[in-house]
Amino acid sequence: MRKYVSEEECQLSYNPQLMALLWNSLATGKARILKHAMEQRFAIPAGCAWVNYVRCHDDIGFAFSDDDIQDLGMEPAAHRRFLTAFYTGRYAGSFACGLPFQEDSLTGHARISGTCASLAGVEKALHDQDAQGVEDAIQRILLIHGVILTIGGIPLIYLGDEIGMLNDYSYEADANKIGDTRWLHRSAFDWERAGQRTDGETVQGKIYQNLLRLIQIRQQNLAFDRAETEIVDTGNDHVFGYFRTNGDHSVLVLANFSGSSQDLEGRRLRLLGLRKSIVDLVAGRTIVATHALTLDPYDFMVLARPVT
């Protein structure tokens, strides 16, 4: 995709690589491939922009570079088979409820259908009556949407994802749709569910209100206004990090893709230039950069550095 993005030919483009690698990072609990790929391919010419998304009306294809996978010592075909198994719930320990689209019985390759909430674990956790599983799934949803809202470009939120709509299996009874699993996430908008979005005790309320908070952070902080993006080494394979900088305004964004707490050493924070107390705009808490920073499972932080 990056080859075609230019002011002369294509000023605006979907960013399928970012989308695929966000889901990869949730499945593996690591951000190694995401970091490596974004370092190589996220920067595009001035006057152009990515459209960043986590889902759309089509299936999820694992559209990342084979070179990036091989650079990190993995085999691309085997890794794609793992992701297919994970997001169709065939992999032991998977949190996802998805269905394969255009699965190749010989190679095992497939694309994935399903709503964001179902792929992130809400559907399975509700079925299992797993309260902590529901909270983890909500955090996964907020984590990946937090990245598309802050990394640079134009964020796109697929209708229904903002209220955690689940898979709709009724398409299987429709002769015009059966066999095309993409209808799993193409159901009519759920207005009854949307009506509960202001109730912070519901799944839809928690997702909707926290997404609004992330959007407000993007709107209100000058560090996100026509800013530069710098991918950084956090010193922890589970944590993806990048600076957004616009003149004197700068934030460090940290995303923990692990289901367990992760630490960043104080030394690493100082190497990133964080030498004073900083504020996490998401949680409203103050971080002292001289000490180790602990990120909760699936934590998403926007750390604002003081204006110089």
pLDDT score, position 308:
52
Contact 96, 89 (CB under 8 A): yes
pLDDT score, position 32:
96
Which residues make Cβ contacts (< 8 Å) with residue 248, sequence separation at least 6?
307, 308
pLDDT score, position 306:
58
- Which residues of the chain are modeled with pLDDT < 50? none
Report how far residue 238's alpha carbon sits from residue 29's, in angstroms, rounded to the nearest whole number. 6
Which part of the chain has CATH 2.60.40.1180?
228-304
Instruction: State the residue for tokens 């799934």.
Output: 137
Which part of the chain has CATH 3.20.20.80?
2-220
Taking the CA atoms of the chain, what radius of gyration do you get in angstroms?
19
Instruction: Count other Cβ atoms within 10 Å, centred on residue 286.
Output: 9
CA distances from 197 to 133, 163, 204, 298 (A): 20, 7, 5, 22
- The pair of structure tokens assigned to 140 is 């996964």
- The pair of structure tokens assigned to 49 is 């922009």
**What CATH architecture does domain 228-304 belong to?**
Sandwich (2.60)
Superfamily in which the 2-220 domain is placed by CATH? Glycosidases (3.20.20.80)
